[in-house]
Amino acid sequence: MTVASLSATVGADIGPKINRERGQRQVFCGLAGIVWLHRKIQDAFFLVVGSRTCAHLLQSAAGVMIFAEPRFATAILQERDLAGLADCNQELDRVVGEVIQRRPTIKTLFLVGSCPSEVIKLDLHKAAERLSEHYRDQVRVIAYSASGLETTFTQGEDTCLHALLPELPVRPEGERSLLIVGTLPDVVEDQFKRLFGELGIGPVEFLPPRHLADAPAVGRNTLLLLAQPFLSETARALQKRGATLIPAPYPFGIEGSRAWFWAAAKTWGVSRERFEAVIAPAVERAAKGLSRQRDLLAGKRIWFLPDSQLEVPIARFLHRECGMELIEVATPFLDRQLIAEELALLPPQVSLTEGQDLEQQLVRLRAARPDLTVCGLGLANPLEAKGLRTKWSIELVFTPIHGFDQAADLAELFVRPLLRAERLRV
């Protein structure tokens, strides 16, 4: 090896009919989650055990400057490792030792599998137990899989947070708290904290936290509010620990943010009058910014290819608040518990697809020729070459788009490719 830098369920009569497709897929693997997780969790390091291709993926996706020192790396498997000619556990121990010596400030080291154990010839979970014991009181070592055979794109965050849950402390009986689950940019987290504070809701904690040394405690009086719709395993594991999930749409746009905050406020016993008074300035700012973008998006036809699992709530926002026409909304997976509130807000006539048969979807897409197609990086250039305007879905994960103050910025992401197309025609 070498080192290279859940409450309601959806009934049959609620929301649009769901079509299911199984076939060839075009989507990132879960390793992409490291790109935003390593920025959020400031005292953690992510060591991927994988191939040189995995290292290239992370470097390309992260766009790290050559003089920056990110908190991730790849322990690159060589042919002799895979052939069993080298002791992979000894090699891994050596690489981990190098990382800890070079980065003494890290408190948690994630061992991230890029392939199943049978392929990389390593049981990373046992290795994590052994290394945690060796570096006890210095560094915690946690293993999880981001293999493309087991996870897609945003599922990498779900598997990471799920692996982290055993490390969370237990909240004492009787102590009520609100836990926001899902990675948020620091600026959004600060905005949310301020609004919750003005509403009198607290204590409010976030998972993942900025520092794992400040990991939130979870108990029977912990209320969960999801900020991301792709955290199925994490949400269910938290509920098994006694936490209660608050059903709500996701905080995208004015409508989604209002419903999301109100779901928490209502549970906390906040009156409607107080709630409206607190959020009024944020709503006014968002409406003013969004009005400029709506004029450019209204009436435009949009198609979502499956990639990020954000497709349903983003489609709801673009249709209901920006006036866009939804042709087809496809998403890799639909968790009925976590997405129920969003499905009920989609127009019943929209074509909603779970999964992907790439060739069939592309046939339908080329026939429909929408004004804008939301897709992964691998499909964007070929579609542009066919004269179809595209928006990279990966930008929806990397860009601050949650909450009232980001509503106009979220809409602007979809305005930009349309304006670019207009300029090119001139």
Q: What pLDDT digit, counting tens, does each position of 311-359 carry?
A: 999 999 999 999 999 999 999 989 989 999 999 999 999 999 998 889 9
| Cross-strand partners of 113 | 49, 145
Q: Would you state the torsion angle of the CA atoms of residues 333, 335, 340, 346, taken in this order, to the nearest 10 degrees?
A: 0
Tell me how far apart the alpha carbons of residues 201 and 213 are, in angstroms, rounded to a whole number: 23
- The confidence score (pLDDT) of residue 290 equals 95
* pLDDT classification of 34: cutoffs 50, 70, 90: confident
pLDDT tens sequence across 381-426: 999 999 999 999 989 998 999 999 999 999 999 999 999 888 877 5
302 alpha-carbon distance from chain centroid = 22
Tell me how far apart the alpha carbons of residues 30 and 24 are, in angstroms, rounded to a whole number: 17
Domains 29-151 and 177-248 share a fold: yes
- The confidence score (pLDDT) of residue 252 equals 98
- The confidence score (pLDDT) of residue 153 equals 84
- The confidence score (pLDDT) of residue 222 equals 96
Backbone angles phi, psi at 361, to 5 degrees: -65, -40
- The confidence score (pLDDT) of residue 116 equals 64
Q: Looking at the predicted structure, is the pLDDT value of residue 67 above 80?
A: no
138 vs 31 pLDDT, higher one: 138
- The confidence score (pLDDT) of residue 66 equals 43
**CATH match of 177-248 with 3.40.50.2300:** no
Residue ranges per structural domain of the chain: 29-151, 177-248, 273-425
| Cross-strand partners of 73 | 47
CB of 95 within 8 A of CB of 60?
no
Tell me how far apart the alpha carbons of residues 234 and 343 are, in angstroms, rounded to a whole number: 21
- The confidence score (pLDDT) of residue 11 equals 37
Q: Which long-range contacts (CB under 8 A, 24 or more apart) does 165-169 make?
A: 165/218, 165/234, 165/237, 165/238, 165/241, 167/108, 167/140, 167/142, 167/212, 167/215, 168/207, 168/215, 168/216, 168/217, 168/218, 169/215, 169/217, 169/218
**Lookup: tokens for 375:** 């897709």
**Lookup: tokens for 161:** 């947070």
Q: Looking at the predicted structure, is the pLDDT value of residue 65 above 60?
A: no
CB of 182 within 8 A of CB of 235?
no
- The confidence score (pLDDT) of residue 1 equals 43
Q: Say which residues have a Cβ less than 8 Å from residue 63's Cβ, sequence separation at least 6.
A: none
**Residue list, annotated binding site for [4Fe-4S] cluster:** 29, 54, 115
Tell me how far apart the alpha carbons of residues 381 and 351 are, in angstroms, rounded to a whole number: 25
Tell me how far apart the alpha carbons of residues 157 and 304 are, in angstroms, rounded to a whole number: 21
Q: What is the DSSP letter of 9?
A: -
pTM of the shown model: 0.90
Tell me how far apart the alpha carbons of residues 22 and 24 are, in angstroms, rounded to a whole number: 7
Average pLDDT over residues 276-296: 95
CB of 294 within 8 A of CB of 322?
yes
> Worst-scoring range by mean pLDDT, 106-115, 119-128, 232-241, 246-255?
119-128
* pLDDT classification of 50: cutoffs 50, 70, 90: confident
pLDDT tens sequence across 130-186: 999 999 889 999 999 887 767 788 999 999 999 999 999 999 888 899 999 999 999
pLDDT tens sequence across 181-200: 999 999 999 999 999 999 99
**Residue list, annotated binding site:** 29, 54, 115
**Lookup: tokens for 334:** 């639909």
Fold assignment, 273-425: Rossmann fold (3.40.50)
Q: Tally helices (H) and strands (E) across the chain.
A: 17, 15
Helix (H, G, I), strand (E, B) or coil at 109: strand
Answer CATH for 29-151 from 3.40.50.1980, 3.30.43.10, 3.20.20.30, 2.102.10.10: 3.40.50.1980
119 vs 363 pLDDT, higher one: 363
CB of 377 within 8 A of CB of 353?
no
Q: Looking at the predicted structure, is the pLDDT value of residue 61 above 80?
A: no
State the amino acid at position 401 in one-letter form: I
> With pLDDT > 70 as the criterion, what percentage of the chain qualifies?
87
